[in-house]
């Protein structure tokens, strides 16, 4: 299976990306302030679990701000109903709302896992979304890349006990082995590791934040993906027919989830 071309003949390949490393549960006014200050950006990324809600009215509010400030955001939102927790990442623009439900739930968490991946096609890129522990499994990013992603966004809430250098190594490995740009945005502060970053398709860090609250932007050129894939043609030489063990050997968790009832919240209209 080939990887979709990243060339866009009708628009610039430059993507203005903002990493909003903010603490969990900020006031909505702070999110709007960031969106207003960074109006016109192609993408603003917030961490996993930025918001914790019991209804989805906030999504409509975020969509109206995205339209007002001519931008798009990716933001982690945890939904809670009477029985279950759902860990989502939303892509929200003025015209589109899409979401991804975390597929690999850490053994310390109680969220309901999702069962599918999603790639969002925008004017300048094709964005795949992952969440925190998902990044520990190389299969997740490879599937997104085979679905056409040239930019992978990982939102995280990595606890301070987990060395941030391991998260950085994972992110750099994903970017390099899949020849994609990668944006990683992690919760900062006393309990989380921060250290959000933008990484290029060669695995090099082009922007890195510190441990605490910080908002920074960077313009990336998506044409770098195309050029590197043309120079180092790894996807054209894959041999999927001999990789069957990757999907044929089932883990105990996989076997349990196979019969798990799919649960999700309905998106607001």
Tens digits of per-residue pLDDT, 143-198? 999 999 999 999 999 999 998 899 999 999 999 999 999 999 999 988 999 999 99
Tell me: pLDDT of 51 over 80: yes
Residues 184, 128 contacting (CB under 8 angstroms): no
Q: What is the 3-state secondary structure (H, E, C) of the chain?
A: CCCCCCCCCCCCCEEEEEEEECCCCCCHHHHHHHHHHCCCCCEEECCCCCEEECCCHHHHHHHHHHHHCCCCEEEEEEEECCCCEEEEEEEECCCCEEEEECCCCCCCCCEECCCCCCEEECCCCEEEEEEHHHHHCHHHHHHHHHCCCCEEEEEECCECCCCHHHHHHHHHHHHHHHCCEEEEEECCCCCECCCCEEECCCCCEEEECCCCCEEEEEEEECHHHHHHHHHCCCHHHCCHHHCCHHHHCCCHHHHHHHCCCCCCCCCCC
How many CA within 13 A on the CB side of residue 235? 24
Q: What is the CATH number of domain 15-258?
A: 3.60.110.10
Confidence of residue 87 (pLDDT cuts 50, 70, 90): very high
pLDDT for the residue 186: 97
Confidence of residue 7 (pLDDT cuts 50, 70, 90): very low
Sign of CA dihedral 66, 122, 232, 156: positive
Where do the domains of the chain lie? Answer: 15-258
pLDDT in tens, 9-24: 445 899 999 999 999 9
Residues 157, 180 contacting (CB under 8 angstroms): no
Burial track 172-197 (b if 16+ CB lie within 10 A, e otherwise):
bbbbbebbbbbbbbbbbeeebbbbbb
pLDDT in tens, 192-241: 999 999 999 999 999 999 999 999 999 999 999 999 999 999 999 999 99
């Amino acid at each position: 299976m080939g990887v979709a071309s990243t060339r866009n003949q009708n628009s610039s390949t430059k993507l203005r990306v903002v990493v909003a490393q903010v603490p969990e549960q900020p006031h909505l006014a702070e999110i709007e302030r960031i969106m207003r200050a960074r109006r016109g950006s192609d993408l603003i990324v917030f961490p996993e679990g930025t918001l914790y809600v019991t209804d989805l009215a906030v999504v409509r509010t975020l969509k109206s701000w995205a339209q007002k400030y001519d931008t798009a955001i990716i933001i982690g939102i945890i939904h809670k109903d009477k029985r279950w927790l759902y860990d989502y990442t939303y892509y929200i623009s003025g015209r589109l709302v899409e979401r991804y439900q975390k597929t690999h739930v850490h053994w310390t968490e109680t969220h309901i896992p999702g069962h599918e991946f999603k790639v969002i096609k925008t004017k300048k890129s094709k964005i795949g979304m992952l969440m925190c522990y998902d990044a520990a499994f190389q299969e997740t990013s490879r599937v997104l890349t085979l679905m056409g992603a040239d930019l992978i966004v990982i939102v995280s809430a990595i606890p301070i006990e987990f060395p941030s250098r391991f998260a950085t190594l994972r992110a750099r490995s994903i970017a390099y082995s899949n020849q994609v740009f990668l944006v990683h945005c992690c919760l900062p502060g006393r309990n989380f590791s921060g250290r959000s970053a933008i990484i290029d398709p060669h695995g090099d860090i082009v922007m890195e934040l510190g441990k605490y609250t910080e908002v920074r932007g960077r313009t990336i050129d998506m044409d770098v993906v195309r050029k590197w894939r043309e120079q180092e043609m790894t996807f054209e030489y894959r041999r999927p027919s001999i990789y069957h063990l990757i999907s044929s050997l089932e883990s105990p968790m996989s076997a349990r989830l196979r019969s798990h009832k799919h649960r999700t919240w309905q998106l607001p209209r």
